[in-house]
Amino acid sequence: MIPALLAIVGGFALLVWSADRFVDGAAATAGHAGMPSLVIGMVIVGFGTSAPEMVVSAMAALDGNPDLALGNALGSNIVNTGLVLGVTALVAPIVVHSKIIRRELPLLFGIGLAAGILFWDGALTRPESLLLLLGFFALIGWSLVAALRGHGDALEAETVQELESHAMTLGRALFWLAAGLVLLIVSSRGLVWGAVNVAQTLGVSDLVIGLTIVALGTSLPELAASVMAARKGEHDIALGNLVGSNMFNLLAVVGIAGVIMPMPTLAPAILTRDWPVMMGLIAALFVMAYGFRGQGRINRLEGALLVLAFVAYNTWLVASVMTG
């Protein structure tokens, strides 16, 4: 038990640090390659912030633990929308200026519904997983087009400012890109091993461990990035990172895990508890941030409600484990 806990703690710490290095290296390398700043922000950084979830879920699926992988994806979205966004809004209320992000919000809701339709028969096959990956590549294409057409969008100015603060030479950027990826894989391996062993020792399902411990750990980079962005007044980056990460989680993280190891039998709780909670939080985010009668805004009260919803869900989760 102690080695497993040490593997989880050490895996979390290394995961957060390496994810940050990987994102900085990837963004700087793309900048040296001449990519527009908005493309870097929406595609390169968006992909990078979801790298921990992707690598952890791939490792879990390779180890024969697809429930942990699926729990990580759904749990990360619940953590992102409930805890991370809620805490960020408590630190600094979020005002949505970007038209691009307003277009992403209904897209996220639609992707969440599509994932639920695939889950509805209680299984996730390899063809369905490939369909999710196809959707992921379509999302990348849409993001590229939106970024290239988004000159003058509020998100562009914030992205330029953020990229300038992390400028580095090409050699250093390539080093951190490679080193960050290697360390992501190493830390993910240790984290998955520790999580599976803790689950077996405590008699808790891989799904629950994925929804809680692993999801919280892989979402720590988003928490740090969003709070820092909000404190610097980069509200669109703070929200854009979370919306992009949630879409990537549903399409790429679930898709990769399902392609590696199809899931012929999904836990019933996914459809009766976890997916509905995730969709409820995404719907709340849509209503708060879209700005149907003007500019979208997530104030401190709404942030507190999101955090309370996250706490209520985890209380429900713990109660279901204890009574089950």
DSSP-assigned states of every residue in 161-195: HHHHTT---HHHHHHHHHHHHHHHHHHHHHHHHHH
Quote the CA–CA distance of 182 and 74 in Å, as a whole number: 25
For residues 104 and 163, the model is more confident at: 104
Q: Are 42 and 184 in contact (CB under 8 A)?
A: no
- Range list of H helices, the chain: 2-32, 37-39, 45-49, 51-62, 66-78, 85-91, 99-119, 126-149, 154-164, 170-202, 206-209, 215-218, 220-231, 235-248, 254-260, 269, 275-290, 300-323
pLDDT 10s digits, 171-217? 998 998 899 888 888 888 888 888 888 887 888 888 888 898 888 88
**203, 201, 216, 319: which is closest to 269 by C-alpha?**
319
Percent of the chain exceeding pLDDT 90 equals 37
This prediction has a pTM of 0.89
Q: Residue 32, exposed/middle/buried by CB under 10 A (0-12, 13-18, 19+)?
A: middle
Average pLDDT score, the chain = 87
pLDDT 10s digits, 76-104? 999 999 999 999 999 889 988 888 888 89
Structure tokens at 38: 């908005």
Question: Tell me, what's the pLDDT at 7?
Answer: 86
- Residue ranges of domains in the chain, CATH in brackets: 2-323 (1.20.1420.30)
